[in-house]
Structure 1
Amino acid sequence: MTEIPTGPDGRGPKLYLATVIDLYSRRLLGTATGLRLDAELARAAITMAVTTRGGKDAIWREEEADRVVFHTDRGSTYTAHAFTRLCRQLGIRQSMGRVGSCFDNAAAEAFFSSLEWEVLSRHDFETTRQAQTAVLDWCYGFYNHHRRHSSADMMSPINYENTTAPNREAA
């Protein structure tokens, strides 16, 4: 999760962004924005990600239990009972980094760094609505469809998934 400043000199209300990224393709599967940094924001993002992948039945089968792993830091949003319960209900195994280690969640940190450089550093948002519009447009318009990734053979996440879809089950 990250915060996006709004208002004059960034002193207005903060907009919070929660994300779910597929490490295979670097595709942004789910996002949620809100004015509060809490477990509900994380729940909304992971619910959107599951929906993007076709729902619970598409991501979880009994013979392949624990197939989906969701890696996060040890923040209270991800350790909250409401969030951990949702992960269990969806058949998602939680994985958390070591305390004090930023390297365990490098893909998410890289995503937020790109967002900061490519969007946030170039705009001053007067309102949270303006911030939300610009950030989500970049996420789903540019990041998923056009931004190339070295870990995805220099293709966009969507192109990489479409190109490698037949091989994905073997990965």
Structure 2
Amino acid sequence: MSTSERWLYLATAIDRRTKEAIGYAMDDHYHTPLTSRAIRNTARNRKLTDGTIFHSDRGSNYRPAEHGETLKHLGLPRSAGRTGTCFDNTMTESFFAALKNERVSRMTYLTREATRQDITRHIESWHKHKHLHSAVGNRPPREVHTEYQTLHIAA
């Protein structure tokens, strides 16, 4: 996201079942430490169950040893889309398109810190609790997650 102080980058992890951004991190660069922090934040926010994978594109920030070590430490296998094929990561593409359309394109950000606070508020309040996602029956991601947990725990 562009600010008067230069760019602020956002790395996310999206839950395939609910379409919720369950982990994310922001920084003034888009290198491996940022993506690794987003993955660690995901593990803090949600219990990662068997079968959890981290799928990414083939960007240079996902190749270094640090990224692999983060995944290994959390017990997550690597999964990467095909080179030049955005359709392999449509959930993330959809999240960023909605974020840009619903928030970023409507704002003028002066500082990276103000941007970070605004994006965090948007994700935590709007995206998780109010944004109606067509892929999950036009319901907000958190509602879908709560329903899944209720059904899964009851089973």
Q: TM-score, normalised by structure 1?
A: 0.85
Structure 1 regions of 5+ residues with no counterpart?
none
Q: CA deviation at 1:166?
A: 4.0
**Distance in 1 between the 2:83 and 2:117 partners?**
34
CA separation of 1:53 and 1:145: change in aligned 2, threshold 3 A: same
SS at match of 2:24: strand
**Aligned residue identity for 2:38:** A
- 1:123 paired to 2:120: no
Partner of 2:44: 51
Q: CA deviation at 1:88?
A: 1.0
Match of 1:143 among 116, 124, 127: 127
**Distance in 1 between the 2:56 and 2:82 partners?**
10
Q: Alignment length, in residue pairs?
A: 153
Aligned 1:14-93 pairs, distance under 5 A: 14-54=7-47, 59=48, 64=50, 67-93=51-77
SS at match of 1:19: strand
**Aligned residue identity for 1:99:** T
Structure 2 regions of 5+ residues with no counterpart?
none
CA contact (8 A) 1:69 1:94 kept: yes
Write out per-residue CA displacement over residues 43-79 of structure 1, whole angstroms, 9 at most, x where no aligned residue: 111101011114xxxx25xxx4xx1111110001111
CA contact (8 A) 1:153 1:160 kept: no
Partner of 2:146: 162
Partner of 1:5: 2
Q: CA deviation at 1:93?
A: 1.0
Q: CA deviation at 1:148?
A: 1.0
CA RMSD between the two structures: 1.4
Q: TM-score, normalised by structure 2?
A: 0.93
**Distance in 2 between the 1:42 and 1:168 partners?**
30
**Aligned residue identity for 1:46:** I
**Aligned residue identity for 1:145:** H
**Aligned residue identity for 1:89:** H
